[in-house]
Every structure is written in C-alpha cells, then in structure tokens.
Amino acid sequence: MEIFPATDIIGGKVVRLVKGDYNKITVYADSPAEMAKQFIEKGAENLHIVDLDGAKSGSPENFEKIREVACLPGLFTEVGGGIRNEQRIEDYLSLGVNRVILGTAAIKDYPFLKRAVKKYGDAIAVGVDAKDGKVAVNGWLETTQVDSVEFCKKLRDDGVKTVIYTDISKDGMQSGTNLEIYSVLSEIEGLDIVASGGITFESEIEALCKMNIYAAIVGKSIYEKTLDLSRVIETARGGKRD
C-alpha cells in the first residue's frame, strides 16, 4: 500500500483543519517545500497536496508554493483544491505534478470530468468527500444529496482510476478512521481507493492493507507525532499490493 503524507496549504503555510472547519486551523510549517523534504528524509515517495484557499475560491491561490514542491526530485505528487477547468489541469501537470484531483468540479460539472478523464487518463483522480454518506463540495462547505458510494461506482464506470475518499467527520480528529466504509469501497472492482481522514493508529494501516486498499493519506497524526511516518511507510510496504 502507498502512503501519502498530506500537505494542506492556506496562505502559503502548511496547516491542518478539524473536520474541514476553516475556523479551526493549526499552522505546522511556513514552507510546504521544506516540509516535503522532511517527509522525503523519512522515506516518503508520495505527497498529497491540497490548496485549501483554492478549494474555497476556485482559483489556484497557492500555485507558486506548489511549484516549489513539484520541483523536488523523486516525489510522486497529487494536487487538489480549486481545479475546475482544463487550464488549471494543464497548469499543474506542466509543473510536473503527477496527478490532479477534481472534487467540486466532478459533482458540479460532470461532463467536464468525463472530458478530463478521456484526455488525461490516470493523471485525473477524484476526491470524494463525504458527510453522513453524502458528497460534500466547495471546500466541504456544501453537502449534496449524492450518495458517496454510488458516486464512486459511477466514477469507475466512467473511466476514473483513482478516488480519494474522505469521511469529513473523522478528518483531523485523531480518533481513528472509518474502516467500515473502506471495507465497502474495497469491493468496487477496478477502482483504486485512497483512504483519507482520521488515520491515527498503525493498526488501521494494517487493516487497510488487508482490505487491498491502494493508498492511505496521513495528516494530523504525523504532524502531532502520534504516528511515526517512517514506521507507517514500512508497515504499508509490508502490505504492498501485487
């Protein structure tokens, strides 16, 4: 299983939110690139980046900071937050970003998502953020009536390879992730699921490996040092998929 340390950016700084609440921000570093270098030193080969300002505004507010990270050698990067047209996709891929995450756009403009997947293939992932089982959009500020699991199946049917699924109620709480939903999602054949939101315990990494989950995102737990990133990566490698 792959491990993606999370780098959420507000105002150019590395932050974490609690349950996606923009009023509950903790700043962990002034430089996303310097934080990424620390992750690399601990064995990280992947990085999950979210422009939280962009997620609200719909514009790439922290583009230059993300450029600094994308320039780092030997790192697979995926970026989300405010990517709602093809130009933004092109802009990020031209930086050397490996995968672009569509979230709000995947719900609000599904034909755009289908065009993007047709043109860019596996370089497009979809972030499915769920609140009480329903898809949330616009930086988690708006909840739709779309069932999150059924939406994942629809994405798979329309050619999406990778879905980053976040249970918002667990995100940033350090109380454990929603293993039950990942057990359900793991049964969707042909879809790579990235588990995100509240991963706190090494046993959860082991459980996700056993479910054959493609990847997991670790955030607040590594910033607060309740999980050791090096150990998490080693545990996940022990459960690496064939």
> How many residues comprise the chain?
242
Q: Which of 186, 127, 196 is nearest to 160 (CA)?
A: 127
- Catalytic pick from 51, 53, 129, 167? 129
Beta bridge partners of 78: 48, 99
- Burial bucket for residue 67 (CB in 10 Å: 0-12, 13-18, 19+): middle
Active site residue 129: yes
Active site residue 122: no
Q: What angle do CA 4, 220, 226 make, to 5 degrees?
A: 100
Q: Does residue 75 contact residue 44 with C-beta atoms inside 8 Å?
A: yes
Return d(Cα 28, Cα 152) in angstroms, integer. 32
Please report, as a single letter, which amino acid is at residue 75: L
Q: Which residues are catalytic?
A: 8, 129
